[in-house]
Chain A
Amino acid sequence: MADLTVKINGMEMTVPAGTTVLEAAHMAGIEIPTLCYMKEINEIGACRICVTEVNEGRGFRLVAACVYPCSNNMEILTSSPKVIAARKKTLELILSDHDRKCLSCVRSGNCELQKLCKDYGIDDASLYDGVKNEYEIDDSAAHMYRDNNKCILCRRCVAVCAKTQGIGVIGANERGFKTYIGSAFDMGLGETSCVSCGQCIAVCPVGAISEKDYTKEVLAAIADPEKTVLVQTAPAVRAGLAECFGNPIGTNAEGRMAAALRRLGFDKVFDTDFSADLTIMEEATEFLDRVQNGGVLPMITSCSPGWIKFCEHYYPEMIPHLSTCKSPQQMFGATAKTYYAEKMGIDPKNIVMVSIMPCTAKKFEIGRPDQSAAGVPDVDFALTTRELGRMIERAGINFNALPEEKFDDPLGLSTGAGVIFGATGGVMEAALRTAVYTLTGNEVTDLPEVRGTEGIKEATYNVGGMDVKVCVASGLSNAREVLEKVKRGEADYQFIEIMACPGGCVNGGGQPQVPMGVRNFVDIRAERAKVLYNLDKSMPLRQSHHNPAVKALYDEYLEKPGSHKAHEILHTSYVKRSVN
């Protein structure tokens, strides 16, 4: 299609046909504010904060820039007095039914509404005050709460839950002034088939939804002299944490993160990358066993607790396909409270296992049954990357100036295969590196076919004369597509990796929120994934089977991958759940 000529604030430029006013302005270096708009996911033109003046030959009028297409010879004014006045009024109207408690709000400082109010010089937040809606806070779910008193009805959460995740347990109920976001029959989120992925939290512009915060409990444990407080950090955390301290998306935080955790007072700073390697040893063994002994195929990975909960609610008939391996978080806790506790002579009851996760579903996972190898829960607290950011900030730790430090031995040792777990395709790649070695004795490293942010990837590898057909899916609506294909008998995969969050854990529901104005134009999944693949490349060991700490664990304690003892400690079971 032909290019269009438009004039933005008097400046002429050419844009491809189909460009929206918002995109044209972005190309010109002007960011038009948005609240409801999420590219390809929520293009509903509802909030009107993006209004812009356009003239298509019949005089200037206000349109919603996020969805309005450019036309040839269009004149655009992005910040005329009329535009500013309209946006200001929209903000004032939002504030008239908003619980304005910025001082104590979890989003203060990175709230999109707060920033707009500052940018537009809103100096009378109570201008249109009248009747206000009052809502109870819904804290029925294990991982998050919803506070509709701060909700601005942008519906980003609704769109991400229904479209990206294919779930749809939240939506707009009632109409007009009484409209609120809730679940069917006003069930609490915990009663619905919400999978705890937290994608809704990651896209909310304000403080209306957030993870349940356990930082206080963790600090209390650290202060308790009776307790040995161990911390593990998931691969993806190091690819996101630095954003909490003003660093660009895609900054590696690994060394400074270890330093910060030490300064917070954790007794040992360990790494989930270790148990990612351990997961590979168990999972690759399980996979080969299924292939060689006629087990249920395709086998599907079990690292992502959001995916597991989704499978239990929506595809219970597929449960036999799930690997019985606990997730790396749980394997870590189980190992710490059995092997490590014995080795160090600590009573597992006195170990407090804290994990830092890019994920909110991990908060649900720690409370699951069959996750307590030492008779106490494998993991006591699962904090999100955001919660760790808050802890560091509150402790007065100058994150950006910290030295790069290392994890502690032995459970801080890992390989490149462990660190790529945080990106979609990473578990598959790590598992294949070890499966190929086990079958053929060959070492492989890079498997580009399963990398990248596409929602569904397929590849076939020839391993020791056998064709292994694999599939990698991230985002639960993509998972649904793959599962339906498998159920219809249209796919003959042997091994499937599924991650609940699009792009994998780097884009998890517990990662720092990135303003949608940035997300609409930058692929944060790809930027953060680069951190992990660069780390992988820089590591001396890149296959899980070479991890010396994992080898020692098997030699000293578990015997061999897939042993009876390994099954008792490192494997779990699943339950059927209903759809609500």
Chain B
Amino acid sequence: MNSAKSTVPFKGTPEQEAELLRVIEEKKSDKGALMPILQKAQEIYGYLPIEVQKIISDNTGIPLEKIYGVVTFYAQFSLYPKGEYTISVCLGTACYVKGSGDIYDKLQEKLGIGGGECTPDGKFSLDACRCIGACGLAPVMTVNEDVYGRLTVDDIDTILAKYA
């Protein structure tokens, strides 16, 4: 079992909390209130770390585990913030047959995080994506707006170094 506790320090503001509490107050007596509350919470904070889920649990009476179960069930929810640099590796067919899977694995190893997660310093987050229409350059990854093509696993260090 690998712990899915976010190690990025939580930087929620009192304004964000006040807004979340307002949303909870408004919705909590509705049937099936949890989904809309979670969607709003993700809008407010960008992700749903334990601190946010606890606020929801404490103020709705819904057990924390139930909330966590819903959050991990739906791909639309994330337990991790986006990093300063968002790395996306294309796992579309063209990239995949050219070895983007290895690149994705290597990035996870180098960054010490899994897909969907963010490094503890908040610098990099890693995601897989579907075809971005640059099949001619396969395999492809992007770092924020920058596109890197015809990659091999050996290129990763140099690319990461640019953003360090």
Contacts and interface: CB of A to CB of B under 8 A. Distances in A.
Nearest to A138: B1
A186 B69 contact: no
Interface string B1-23: 11111000000000000000000
Contacts of A169: 63-65
A323 to B, nearest CB: 28
Given A138-B1, A185-B4, A185-B5, A175 B66 contact: no
Interface residues of B, dominant DSSP: helix
A575 interface: no
Tell me the interface secondary structure of chain A in the complex. Answer: loop
A562 interface: no
B64 A175 contact: no
Nearest to B57: A579
Contacts of A192: 65
B144 interface: no
B1 A186 contact: yes
A170 interface: yes
A367 to B, nearest CB: 24
B66 A162 contact: yes
Interface residues of B, number: 18
Contacts of A162: 63, 66
B125 interface: no
Interface in A157-174: 162, 167-174
Interface string B56-76: 011000011111110011000
Given A138-B1, A182-B1, A186-B3, A173 B68 contact: yes
A167 B57 CA distance: 12
Given A136-B1, A182-B1, A185-B5, A172 B63 contact: no
B57, B58, B63 — most chain A CB neighbours (10 Å): B63
Contacts of B100: none
B131 interface: no
Contacts, number: 56
B3 A183 contact: no
B59 to A, nearest CB: 12
A107 to B, nearest CB: 22
A185 B3 contact: yes
Contacts of A175: 72-73
Given A135-B1, A136-B1, A138-B1, A184 B73 contact: no
Contacts of B2: 186
Nearest to B67: A184
B53 interface: yes
B160 interface: no
B63 A173 contact: no
A192 B57 CA distance: 14
Nearest to B5: A185
Contacts of A579: 57-58, 64
Nearest to B58: A579
Contact of B64 (A135, A136, A580): A580
B38 to A, nearest CB: 14
Nearest to B69: A171
Contact of B68 (A135, A138, A167, A185): A185
Contacts of B5: 185-186
Nearest to A168: B63
A186 B4 contact: yes
B67 to A, nearest CB: 7
B50 interface: yes
A545 to B, nearest CB: 43
A174 B63 contact: no
Nearest to B64: A184
A184 B1 contact: no
Interface in A233-286: none
Contacts of A136: 1
A399 to B, nearest CB: 39
Nearest to B63: A168
A182 B57 CA distance: 17
A162 B69 CA distance: 13
B73 A174 contact: yes
B72 to A, nearest CB: 5
Contacts of A168: 63, 65-66
Interface in A131-160: 135-136, 138
A172 B69 contact: yes
Contacts of B64: 169, 184-185, 579-580
B69 A173 contact: yes
A184 B53 contact: yes
A456 to B, nearest CB: 20
A171 B57 CA distance: 15
Contacts of B68: 171, 173, 183-185
Contacts of B67: 184
B122 to A, nearest CB: 19
Contacts of B58: 579
Contacts of B53: 184-185
A194 to B, nearest CB: 10
A384 to B, nearest CB: 25
Interface string B62-93: 01111111001100000000000000000000
A278 to B, nearest CB: 37
- Give the one of A135, A136, A171 with max B CB within 10 A: A171
Nearest to A178: B72
A138 B3 CA distance: 12
B65 A171 contact: yes
Contact of A185 (B50, B63, B66, B73): B50
Contacts of A580: 64
A332 to B, nearest CB: 35
Interface in A550-580: 579-580
A182 B63 CA distance: 13
A175 B67 CA distance: 14
Contacts of B69: 171-173
Contacts of A171: 63, 65-66, 68-69
A297 to B, nearest CB: 27
Interface string B98-140: 0000000000000000000000000000000000000000000
**Which 3 A-B pairs have CB atoms at the shortest separation, nearest pair first?**
A168-B63, A184-B68, A184-B64
Interface of B: 1-5, 50, 53, 57-58, 63-69, 72-73
Given A168-B63, A169-B63, 13 more contacts: A173-B73, A182-B65, A183-B65, A183-B68, A184-B50, A185-B4, A185-B53, A185-B64, A186-B2, A192-B65, A579-B57, A579-B64, A580-B64
10 contacts: A162-B63, A173-B72, A174-B73, A182-B65, A183-B68, A186-B5, A192-B65, A579-B58, A579-B64, A580-B64
Interface of A: 135-136, 138, 162, 167-175, 182-186, 192, 579-580
